[in-house]
Every structure is written in C-alpha cells, then in structure tokens.
Amino acid sequence: MRVEDEHNSRVYPKRGMQIIRGQGARLWDSDGREYVDMGASVGVMNVGHGNEYVTEAIRQQSERLMYVYSVFHNDQREQLLEKLAEITPDPLRRSFLCSSGTEAVEAAIKFARGHTNKKWIISAKRGFHGKTYASLSATWSRKYREPFEPLVPDFEHAVYGDIESLREHICEDVAAVLLEPIQGEAGVRLPPDGYFQQVREVCDENGS
C-alpha cells in the first residue's frame, strides 16, 4: 500500500486495504480477511470474480490471438456483433464496440451529432455519464465538472423524469437526449412509468 500510495496518480482516494483475490461474490485482502462484494465491483463483476467460463474463454483466446486491428474481420468479433444484433430491439442492427462506459457515451454523442448534423445534447440533472470531455459535459455534478472547464459546448440538463422539463429544453437543433434508464450516481432513481416512451415521442417530434 505504501508503494502504491507513493506512485499512483492520487485521482482515487484509497480505503486503506489491499484487495488481492476474488471468487464469486467474495473478496480477500492481503491480511486474509474476507468480504462480500455487495456492489459487484461497481457492476463490472456481475458474473462473479474468477468466473470459470470467463477465465477459460480469456485463456483460450489469449493463447490464440490477443489483438487484431479493426480493419480486419475476426471470428470472435463476428459472434459478438451477431449476438448484440439479436438482443437489441429493432431497428438496431449495428454496434460500435468499445471498452468503457465513458467511451460508449463519447461515441454515442459523436454518432448523434454526425448523423443528425445538429449540435445540442440534452442530458439530465443529477445524471452521470462518465469523465472524458463530452461525457463529462453531459454529467451533472459540479464537483466532477468545475476543475476541467471549459467543457464541450452545447450541452444542457433537463429535470430527470419530468417530460415538461424536456419539452422546455428541446428544439430542432437537438442531436440527442442522453438519459440513464435508472439514475445511479444520484441514488437509485427511477423515472415515472411511460417516461421513456414520452421522451421518444418528444424526440421524434423534433427530429432528434
């Protein structure tokens, strides 16, 4: 812990324990103490630590091929894209693969602006979308935003779950409305029933 404290960037304050192993929902620290990972490591380990199917797939693939540049087709990418096309609702047929939430949001904003040729992005007050520049511009909390201003222009925040607030913000120059299905960082906050259908309608009315 002393060596890590000396050399890490200090972006994330540490909790004074060193986690070195996980199995299923359990974690162990370097003193052998056992913990239950109630948050599934921020949702990233929701299939459990040391999951045998995941570790075996990683072992097999890393022996065969660790990386292939995106200009080539690949058998494994093909399977994932096909599965995503199966489980995403119509008319979604294509996916852009990336490795983190903030990258996915960044990509979504670029696709929306590029596709619509419009500029405004409306997200929600108390929403969280990541910490790279465009994702951070969609994120609400001042504590994340202020140290890095100026952010990307033309982002606004409507009240989450309030369709009238969205109507007040939307206009014909809105490229996308970006919302969490359940707000996480703000607490576990669900919108009223039917909210997302109404959001879709408001977007359709404005070509967003």
Ligand X SMILES: Cc1ncc(COP(=O)(O)O)c(C=O)c1O
Residues that bind ligand X (CB under 6 A): 100-102, 105, 128-130, 180, 184
Nearest approach, Cβ of 3 to ligand X (angstroms)? 25
Comparing CB distances to ligand X, the nearer of 126 and 129 is 129
Comparing CB distances to ligand X, the nearer of 161 and 184 is 184
Nearest approach, Cβ of 160 to ligand X (angstroms)? 12
Distance in angstroms (rounded) separating the CA atoms of residues 190 and 87: 23
Give Cα separations from 124 to 67, 118, 120, 133 (angstroms): 37, 19, 13, 17
Comparing CB distances to ligand X, the nearer of 128 and 160 is 128
Nearest residue to ligand X, using CB?
101
- Pick the closest to residue 47 from 68, 27, 25 (CA basis): 25
Please tell me what DSSP assigns to residue 191.
Answer: P
Comparing CB distances to ligand X, the nearer of 130 and 191 is 130
Please tell me what DSSP assigns to residue 183.
Answer: B
Nearest approach, Cβ of 61 to ligand X (angstroms)? 21
Distance in angstroms (rounded) separating the CA atoms of residues 39 and 41: 5
Nearest approach, Cβ of 101 to ligand X (angstroms)? 2
The number of CA neighbours under 13 Å toward the Cβ of 105 is: 23
Comparing CB distances to ligand X, the nearer of 23 and 100 is 100
- Pick the closest to residue 80 from 99, 55, 64 (CA basis): 99
Nearest approach, Cβ of 166 to ligand X (angstroms)? 18
Distance in angstroms (rounded) separating the CA atoms of residues 17 and 173: 49
